[in-house]
Amino acid sequence: MDELPIGRRVAYWRGRRKMSQQVFADRLGKSKSWVDKVERGVRRLDKFSVLYEIADILQMDVQLLLGKDPERRADALNCIDQVEVQEIRAALERYDSMSAYFDAAPYPPPLDDMRKAVNHAWLTYQYGRYGMLTRALPKLLRDAQAADAAYGGEHAAEAAHLLGQVYQIASSVLRKLGECELAWLAADRSMAVAQRADDPLLAGIATTRVCNALVAMGRARPALELNVQIANRLAPTGSGMVSPAQLSVYGMLLLQGAMAASRIGDSASVDDLINGAAEAAARLGGDHNHYWTSFGPTNVELHRAAAAVELGDGGRAVEVHQLRIPEPAFNALLPERRAHHLLDIARGYAQIGDVANAGEALLRGDRLAASEIRCRPIAHEVMSDILRRTRGAPPSPIAELAEHMGVGV
């Protein structure tokens, strides 16, 4: 879009916001004729103050309005539009009272509609459709913020709960796509909102998002400490009744603590935390998706393999994959979980020098959830390693996947 005149870009983004010329002119304090002339290029936009005001009304970064879109990485072509990342950033970084947070508050979306939209976003994430999700997230964030700002009384807690979930969805997908600082910001917001929602379990699962972002930014030790601290707060006491949701959130805190411990080479803590999660999963009695955790015995084993990879023990990861994960239970998991695991196993095979099986694992993951393989930076590292260590030309399926990923053969 950087080749378009600025007036055409204004028209484009105004259309994306589903805003008429008259509404846009009213918010800008200009006439409809003025807007029309700007968009047709008859009138120049040469005052930065006006440009910033337009960008604010259109809820976007002024650099995008000027046509200075971030360069699209080769690995992003089939994955995530960097324009949408900037839109998500704009939705997350708005604080002033004129922002979209308050702008839509008089006419917030109905909570029934918000609930359906949030559930759909979770499923979009768990099916590994990251490009589709990032395109939907800017509006979902603005709608959830508007609902949280507008609803009070008996509806306040639910509105906050929904906003907290949207922040968690944003954090999860942004972290996978390498936008770690934005992932941390969204996760941090989700923790604050969870307290207003008065839901300790939402706060607990929000903690795992914060810690995942910290690990991605190289802050594994504080992530380990925070996961364990909150897990202890939510730990079942005695042999009394405990809800499946509590067991799931508690178990996920332990698993994410184990992943943080594996990043710093603390194998003893990894074993303790995974074994604790296994006890919670056994008590839960199967694989479930409470609070969108996909927690259960199978997911525990997936994390056992992932932690082994992080510890550099690819052989152990492959052993867990082959001997400890029943195929029917694995196939019953949602696509994102299975593809994520196959990416971990590809890394494990690569660690032991089995590049053929590493490539096959990537291909299997790609068939399940292409975005999990084609869009994640860690998958690109694995593919580069496979290509570098393959003697002669790589098999055609691997070469095709590498091309789709933007990884040079």
Q: What is the DSSP letter of 240?
A: S
| Higher-confidence position of 14 and 308 | 308
Q: Quick one: pLDDT at residue 46?
A: 74
Contacts with 102 (C-beta within 8 Å, 6 or more apart), sequence order = 146, 149
Look up residue 128 and give its two tokens. Answer: 């590994």
| Higher-confidence position of 299 and 192 | 299
Q: Quick one: pLDDT at residue 395?
A: 93
At 351, is the pLDDT very low, low, confident or very high (cuts 50, 70, 90)?
A: very high
Q: In terms of DSSP H, where are the helices of 151-179? A: 156-176
For residues 166 and 182, is the Cβ–Cβ distance under 8 A? no
User: What is the rounded distance in angstroms from the CA atom of residue 8 to the CA atom of residue 2?
Assistant: 10
At 71, is the pLDDT very low, low, confident or very high (cuts 50, 70, 90)?
A: very low
Q: Quick one: pLDDT at residue 105?
A: 52
Cβ atoms < 10 Å from Cβ of 300: 26
pTM, 2 dp: 0.79
Query: Angle, nearest 10°, between helix axes 335-351 and 111-126?
Result: 30
Check pLDDT > 60 for residue 279: yes
- Average pLDDT score over residue span 257-262: 97
Architecture of the 1-69 domain: Orthogonal Bundle (1.10)
* Per-residue pLDDT reduced to its tens digit, 86-111: 788 888 876 533 444 445 455 788 99
Domain ranges in the chain are: 1-69, 83-218, 231-333, 342-409
- Average pLDDT score over residue span 342-353: 96
- Average pLDDT score over residue span 201-217: 96
Kindly list the distances between the CA atom of residue 112 and the CA atoms of 117, 144, 196, 199, 298, in Å, as whole numbers in the listed order. 9, 12, 20, 19, 33
| Higher-confidence position of 368 and 76 | 368
| Average pLDDT along the chain | 88
* Per-residue pLDDT reduced to its tens digit, 231-240: 999 999 876 6
